Amino acid sequence: MGTYEGPLRIVALERLRLSPNGNPRFQVVLNDGTVTQTQSDAAINYKIENITYRDTDLMVAFAPRTRQITDLYPIFTEADAQELREMDARQSLGTLESDERRRWQILSSRRDAARRHTGE
């Protein structure tokens, strides 16, 4: 799988030609200046475009020899958790504004993705 490094953010994402097996691949630019690709035929290629991973700090796993990205997950901070708790309360009362619903969904997805990786 590789070693996780972070926090890092995706600055640019460019779709490359499909792999020989017909799977998507991407060139990725990270905020630390790293320019790399996703590992061919890895599950990362199907989740990297997800809104959950945009505009947030990430833990990124790199293949040891090639430094290609093999996996990533969002860092879910205590500030994120507090914001989500407040939104959950408003959602249960039916007072969550329609423009807040997308943010609530994104935070919920980030929390769930982080939990899958950290086991919390």
Q: Cα 28 to the chain's mean position, in Å?
A: 13
Greatest extent of the chain over all pairs of C-alpha atoms, in Å:
51
Other CB atoms within 10 A of residue 54 CB: 14
Amino acid at 44: I
Query: What does the pLDDT read at residue 9?
Result: 94
Question: What pLDDT shows up at residue 70?
Answer: 92
Q: What's the pLDDT score for residue 49?
A: 81
pLDDT at residue 38, rounded to an integer: 93
Where in the chain are the domains?
Answer: 3-74, 78-118
Q: Is the dihedral of CA 61, 117, 76, 38 positive or negative?
A: positive
**33 DSSP 8-state letter:** S
CA-to-CA distance for 89 and 1, rounded, in angstroms?
38
Per-residue pLDDT, 99:
84
pLDDT score for 1: 60
Across the 120 residues of the chain, what is the mean pLDDT of every consecutive 10-residue run?
A: 86 92 93 94 84 84 92 91 94 89 90 84
Q: Pick the closest to residue 114 from 68, 45, 57 (CA basis).
A: 57
